[in-house]
Chains A and B, each alone.
Chain A
Amino acid sequence: MDGFVLTLWLLRLLFLALLYAFLFAVVRVLLRDLRLASRGPAELGRLVVVASPRGEPVPGASFSLDAVTTIGRDVNNSIVVDDPFASAEHGVLTFRGRAWYVEDLASTNGTFVNGIPVDGVAEIGFGDELQVGEVRLRLDRGRS
């Protein structure tokens, strides 16, 4: 009988302890979440230069992407591609919701995703290869 009562009391305390264990685990999640939030928004994505015959941009370089990133020969672009086959305002990458889209801004020589020409707007996934003139860039996940 006494053993039973003791066991029961332990159960009751265990129940309360587990409640707090849950709260503790949740608080850890919340704190992690807050730390991430305080670091600012996670990077949306990166463009890594795979091939660049003229050396501008430098092969192997990677660009952190804004939600709207423009590519072209003009120096006002976010990513400047010094390539005779690229137009001044060649294309624009936009992040919508949770996907990247690439838009060809009526460039002379076109924009390609994995070798397929973009007609207007096309979705581009992580790992896909983007070609602007002779420069090839790969879309990678951003660091978080």
Chain B
Amino acid sequence: MSIAAQARPFAGAGRRIRPRLRATETTLLVIVAATLVVGAMSLGATQRLREARQAGETLASIDLAPQDPVALAVLLGAVGLVHVAFVLAGRRTDQVLLPAVAMLGGIGLLLMQRLPQDLVQQSFFGLVLGLGQLQLVWLLIAISVIGTLALAVRSDAWLRTYKYTWAAAGIALLALTFVFGSETNGARLTLSIGPISGQPSELLKVILVVFLAGYLSENRSLLAEESTRLGPLRLPPIPYLAPMGAMWAIALGIVIVQRDLGAALLFFAVFLALLYVATGRMSYVMGGLILFLVGAFVLYNLFGHVQQRVDNWLDPWADPSGAGFQVVQALYALGRGGLLGVGLGAGLPTIGGRLPVPAVHTDYPLVALGEELGLVGLLAILGLYLVVVERGLRIAAAAHDDFRSILAAGLALVIGVQVFIIAAGNLKLIPLTGITLPLISYGGSSLLANAIVVGFLLALSDRGAGAPAPPRTGRPARLARLRRARA
């Protein structure tokens, strides 16, 4: 009997799956669990103390039962299950991403449990779910998406081959939103099909990265050329500049049609960053920045809502109870937090039925965390995001080929840039744009899209994922070629 390659058409398919311990991940997850349990205890005690004080009573005994232990247990259980699945599958995927994501998601859950539960309510089959419960449901879905993608995606062919199909799907999604989207707060963001509604721009960012990775990896060397000269600028052949122009136009279109400044900024920034990653040329970034400034100038002068955003940003105290209310209240919340924060759950409750900071659960969760965890906690959270980004870029650097490199870098940057845009908006460093804080903000679309990002990153980090097919049966001439290549 001979072992013939023909007898094994699919590499590794016949190999036995060997469980592989993931000690790092286990350790980190234990710390995550401990942190979240302590957080829930602190939150629960604070809530009880607040209620007691409002009722004019004093608490008799020290009661440190965690807030909503069931929800926390379910979340930690789900993360644990994914961890066990990873171990059993024996895959050599990244061991830091899952704990970091679990930490961020858990902090988000604690925050949603602390906010008024009737902020968002949905009923499923007569079961009414409040803010915290809905966030838990979405987190569970997100975690299962992460696990499924990390384990199931073993080949990237379906992504790289059909990049134009993906691009078309993305544009279709955009068009659908334009036609059928409903407006919230002056922005046409939400697409509802039947009972399901979501924000397509969240999904769009993943599609964008996939398409860009495909396009850039294919045309990398061409884009790095410098054959056209335009004054002091050395540019690649004009046809290859077209995508840049198209991307700029799409970003502008999103702002004009959807009035979604944040998504447009995110897309354009990620696009520029990936262009730089692929070509290593600063001139693209410079050109892009010039285009951005031109676009920003045009938008500022043409659109009232853009102008209003910028004016609110420059001087929110001009109208602190009207247009500047959200910004001013956010800064007050940050100021209340100070260095160590007021403690989980001890932030300001509603004032006269209004949230202290409007849209705190979607646009301003970082501010609420800044109030309750202080500067120290805020920096830790920014650190967690940096960890996610670092892992993503590390995966990109270690990837086998350009497509995977650019894909992983793009996925990491999408999270990093989104965090920067919303955090900088919250901190009044740039005008506020209504995008979510990845993995913490309330919202199904946001959690799902970022789960897909993390799932892909995990899949890409597997050193065995989508291994190329075994070499074809050799001809002696192949050897000469191999030798030449090695020389």
Binding site for B on A (CB under 8 A): 1, 3-4, 7-9, 11-16, 18-23, 25-26, 29-30, 33, 37, 66, 68, 70, 76, 89, 92, 94, 96-99, 101, 103-106, 113, 116-123
Please state if A12 and B384 are interface contacts (CB–CB under 8 Å): no
Please state if A98 and B35 are interface contacts (CB–CB under 8 Å): no
A141 to B373, CA, bound (A): 48
Q: Mark B1-27, 1 if CB is under 8 A from A, else 0.
A: 111111010011001000000001001
Please state if A68 and B482 are interface contacts (CB–CB under 8 Å): yes
A22-B103, A23-B387, A26-B100 are known contacts. Are A11 and B5 too (CB-CB below 8 A)?
A: no
The one of B4, B46, B474 in contact with A92, judged by C-beta atoms closer than 8 angstroms, is B474
The one of A89, A92, A97 in contact with B464, judged by C-beta atoms closer than 8 angstroms, is A97
**B417 at interface by CB-CB < 8 Å:** no
Please state if B96 and A117 are interface contacts (CB–CB under 8 Å): no
A118 to B42, CA, bound (A): 65
Task: For the complex formed, measure the closest distance between the CB of A23 and the CB atoms of chain B, giving whole angstroms.
Answer: 5
Binding site for A on B (CB under 8 A): 1-6, 8, 11-12, 15, 24, 27-28, 31-32, 34-35, 38-39, 41-42, 45-46, 49, 58-59, 61-62, 64, 92, 95-96, 99-100, 103, 340-341, 343-344, 373-374, 376-377, 380-381, 383-384, 387, 390, 394, 398, 463-464, 466-474, 476, 479, 482-483, 485-486
The one of B59, B92, B340 in contact with A1, judged by C-beta atoms closer than 8 angstroms, is B59
Identify 18 residue pairs between A and B in the complex whose beta-carbon atoms are under 8 Å apart, listed by A's number.
A16-B340, A16-B376, A16-B380, A18-B38, A19-B377, A22-B99, A23-B384, A26-B99, A29-B95, A92-B474, A96-B11, A97-B464, A97-B466, A116-B2, A119-B3, A121-B5, A121-B474, A123-B11
A23 to B386, CA, bound (A): 10
A1 to B4, CA, bound (A): 77
A76 to B31, CA, bound (A): 54
Please state if A99 and B11 are interface contacts (CB–CB under 8 Å): yes
A12-B341, A98-B463 are known contacts. Are A122 and B3 too (CB-CB below 8 A)?
A: yes
Please state if A96 and B470 are interface contacts (CB–CB under 8 Å): yes
A103 to B376, CA, bound (A): 58
Please state if B42 and A11 are interface contacts (CB–CB under 8 Å): yes
Please state if B380 and A113 are interface contacts (CB–CB under 8 Å): no
Name which residue of chain B comes closest to A98, CB basis: B464
Name which residue of chain A comes closest to B464, CB basis: A98
Task: For the complex formed, measure the closest distance between the CB of A5 and the CB atoms of chain B, giving whole angstroms.
Answer: 8
Query: Given A15-B39, A22-B103, A97-B466, 15 other A-B contacts at CB below 8 A?
Result: A4-B49, A8-B42, A12-B341, A12-B344, A14-B38, A19-B35, A25-B27, A29-B28, A29-B95, A37-B398, A99-B464, A105-B476, A119-B5, A120-B6, A120-B474
A8-B46, A22-B103, A103-B474 are known contacts. Are A15 and B467 too (CB-CB below 8 A)?
A: no
Name which residue of chain A comes closest to B483, CB basis: A76
Name which residue of chain B comes closest to A114, CB basis: B3
Please state if A15 and B35 are interface contacts (CB–CB under 8 Å): yes
Please state if B4 and A119 are interface contacts (CB–CB under 8 Å): yes
Please state if A96 and B12 are interface contacts (CB–CB under 8 Å): no
Please state if A11 and B41 are interface contacts (CB–CB under 8 Å): yes
Q: Which residues of A contact B344 (CB under 8 A)?
A: 12, 15
Task: For the complex formed, measure the closest distance between the CB of A26 and the CB atoms of chain B, giving whole angstroms.
Answer: 5
Q: Which residues of B contact A4 (CB under 8 A)?
A: 45, 49, 59, 61-62
The one of A19, A101, A113 in contact with B470, judged by C-beta atoms closer than 8 angstroms, is A101
A7 to B59, CA, bound (A): 13
Q: Which residues of A contact B38 (CB under 8 A)?
A: 11, 14-15, 18
